[in-house]
Amino acid sequence: MILNQFETALAAVSQHLRSITVEIANYQSGGSGVIWSSDGLIVTNSHVVGGSKVQVRLATGDVVAGAVVARDRHQDLALLKVDAKHLPTPTIGNAEALRPGELVLAMGNPWGFSGALTAGIIHSQGGQEGINAVMDGVRPTAFSQSPPGSVVVADIRLAPGNSGGVLANARGEVVGINTAIFQGLALAIPSQQVTAFVRTMTR
């Protein structure tokens, strides 16, 4: 009985996460993104979008043109705008409340599989020294100007194509944007940092 309820709830959360996750492609790279507003704002990683124009595939299968309207390479964040209305939007959770061992879900587009779901647990939330250590040799500029405690580390299996995709808690609330993989651990930019980035770039 309890297992059936859990499976039903997980399937519903997965469906919601899939609806807000997009696939991004351009001439240089590709990855995932998260719809942030119903009028077409999408958040992804800066390293996912090499140019100023991208193609965005929605969960419906529709492909729309997108433009990079803001970018912060130090935080590895980019804000896109697509010409679309009435898009599904996320519920933003509190990444600062995450605890080691808490269940998290990641949705992205690894290896060409659209809307792939992965589950794992929170490993830790790292300070600046930890960030520098795990990012050494990965992308040296990423997080270089972020405050301590500004990365979520999850023991979750991710693959190329998950970058820019959503990290959510068991309730389906967005708690981070996946940005890198290091020695089997996923690194995500916490939701409060992403929210601050979007707010600053849309003033």
Among this protein's residues, is 76 annotated catalytic? yes
Q: What is the pLDDT of residue 117?
A: 94
Among this protein's residues, is 47 annotated catalytic? yes
Q: What angle do CA 153, 92, 121 make, to 5 degrees?
A: 30
Active-site annotation holder among 19, 146, 150, 163: 163
Answer whether 175's CB lies under 8 Å from 189's CB. Answer: no
Q: What is the pLDDT of residue 131?
A: 53
Q: What is the pLDDT of residue 126?
A: 60
* Percent of the chain residues topping a pLDDT of 70: 86
pLDDT range class, residue 140, cuts 50, 70, 90: very low
Give dist(CA 144, CA 200) in Å, integer.
19
Q: What is the pLDDT of residue 5?
A: 85
pLDDT range class, residue 6, cuts 50, 70, 90: confident
Among this protein's residues, is 191 annotated catalytic? no
H helix runs in the chain, sequence order: 2-20, 128-135, 191-201
Q: What is the pLDDT of residue 145?
A: 40
- For 64-88, what is the mean pLDDT? 95
| Mean of pLDDT over the chain | 87
Pick the CATH number of 95-200 from 3.40.640.10, 2.40.10.10, 2.102.10.10, 3.40.710.10: 2.40.10.10
Q: Which residue has the higher pLDDT, 107 or 136?
A: 107
- For 26-38, what is the mean pLDDT? 83
pTM of the model: 0.87
pLDDT range class, residue 184, cuts 50, 70, 90: confident
Active-site annotation holder among 19, 47, 146, 191: 47
Q: Which residue has the higher pLDDT, 69 or 136?
A: 69
Closest C-alpha among 203, 196, 194 to residue 175: 194
Q: What is the pLDDT of residue 132?
A: 54
Q: Say yes or no: do domains 2-89 and 95-200 share a fold.
A: yes
- For 155-182, what is the mean pLDDT? 94
Tell me which CATH homologous superfamily contains domain 2-89.
Trypsin-like serine proteases (2.40.10.10)
Give dist(CA 172, CA 55) in Å, integer.
26
Query: Where do the structural domains in the chain lie, given as residue ranges?
Result: 2-89, 95-200
- For 174-183, what is the mean pLDDT? 92
pLDDT range class, residue 182, cuts 50, 70, 90: confident
Active-site annotation holder among 46, 76, 146, 150: 76
Res 188 pLDDT > 80: yes
